[in-house]
Amino acid sequence: MQTLAYLVVIIPLVAFSGALAVVLFDISNIHSARQLTKLWTHNIQSYNVSLHRKYVTRPIWEDVSVWCFNRKSEKFRPTLNDVHDFGEVLRHNRSTALFVHGWLQRKTQFADDVKRLALALTDRNYCLVDFETLAHVKLETFADELSPRIATYLAGFVQSLSAIGIPPEQVTLIGEGVTAHLVGHAGHILGGRLGSVIGLDPLGPFYTVGPNLRSTRFTLDPSDALFVQVWYSSIGQLGSPVPLGHQNIYVNGGLHPQPYCACFVKAFGTANLLTQLCSHYFVVEVFKATLDPDIVLLATKCLSYKHFLAGRCEIQPKARVDGSESEMGNFYIETNCQPPFLN
């Protein structure tokens, strides 16, 4: 059998229209895993350089769009940077929630759950922020160069909603991982006038732990909105160990590994990236379950997770933490292992 001369590298994450092709490389002279790893690393670095050249240097509005749900057409429709267009897609004088998908995620990350919520509760506008073509740039490049530009664009979009009677105080921004900090930065640009920010397991590395931390203005904190709610599920790994909100919700203590990820722990161990990603993204699944109008999330306010486990929470045992009430403090919930996860 003839030796395979070329390896075509397929990256499933790069599935967007107009994506750059990954550079092919010759493996005919590869005789060890170490050689293959070295060549693969070089190939990915070349790919990231190409992405950097293509996306970091061109106008951000070419790669970011906002899609809002319109019950008349029963689908998400794009909003143009035109006040007249807003009236076709958004209802005037209504509170508005914008969901920002995560790094390496697709714009549809929240779509089905948001659509179900919008059909049940018609008194708000619901939108998805799409930057899918930028979501596959190397994380450090995204955090340093693209996230601030997307945040600035998003802040401008929110500000423009005032033209149809939707001031920043009536807007909620939701982000996860690195985009939890992105929506916080947008709130910072708006002077903290956003109604609320919801951060789902904000990224710890680059922001709150480790070397070369970003400026505090890029990091989610309580000053970014009138009310900041933060969820935690991978403290000590990908998630931030630092409380960042007025209201902090710890899923199973916010600790890695999450019980749901037991299969990954058994197969790979707690330090493996797949296990870490499972815990990191698990909070998104729990949060999306709360978008079901029939689910009311009740959590226990407590001094610490240790006190919670010991049953030593002195205040009212259960409280709503769905954003309708802005009680401050630390809250704890435990989950089931099957969807919708909430007890």
Range 138-142 contact pairs with CB under 8 angstroms and sequence separation of 24 or more = 138/48, 138/51, 138/52, 139/103, 139/178, 139/206, 140/206, 141/48, 141/51, 141/52, 141/56, 142/103, 142/178
The string of pLDDT tens digits covering residues 114-142 is 998 888 888 899 999 999 989 988 898 89
The string of pLDDT tens digits covering residues 149-182 is 999 999 999 999 998 899 999 999 999 999 999 9
Q: What is the pLDDT of residue 35?
A: 60
Report the relative pairing of strands 196-200 and 227-232 from DSSP bridges. parallel
Whether 270 shows a pLDDT value over 70: the answer reads yes
Q: What is the pLDDT of residue 8?
A: 29
CA distance 68 to 40: 40
- Please state, for a pLDDT cut of 90, what percent of the chain lies above it: 47
Q: Which two tokens stand for residue 103?
A: 């790094």
Q: Is the dihedral of CA 80, 84, 89, 91 positive or negative?
A: positive
Q: Which two tokens stand for residue 278?
A: 């499972």
The string of pLDDT tens digits covering residues 242-269 is 999 999 999 999 999 998 888 778 778 8
CA distance 106 to 132: 6
Distances (CA, A) of 72 to 69, 116, 292, 332: 9, 14, 21, 39
CA distance 67 to 111: 10
Q: What is the pLDDT of residue 138?
A: 86
Query: What residues have CB less than 8 Å from 251, skipping those under 6 apart?
Result: 231, 232, 233, 258, 282, 283, 286, 333, 335
Whether 82 shows a pLDDT value over 80: the answer reads no
The answer to whether the CB of 279 falls within 8 A of the CB of 258 is yes
33-46+60-333 belongs to which CATH class?
Answer: alpha beta
Report the relative pairing of strands 319-320 and 65-70 from DSSP bridges. unpaired
Whether 292 shows a pLDDT value over 60: the answer reads yes
Q: Is the pTM of this model over 0.75?
A: yes
Residue 74 CB coordination number (10 Å): 10
Whether 3 shows a pLDDT value over 50: the answer reads no
Is residue 63 classed as helix, strand or coil in its secondary structure? coil
Q: Where are the domains of the chain?
A: 33-46+60-333
Mean pLDDT of 68-85: 78
Q: How confident is the model at residue 16 (pLDDT cuts 50, 70, 90)?
A: very low
Q: What is the pLDDT of residue 27?
A: 47
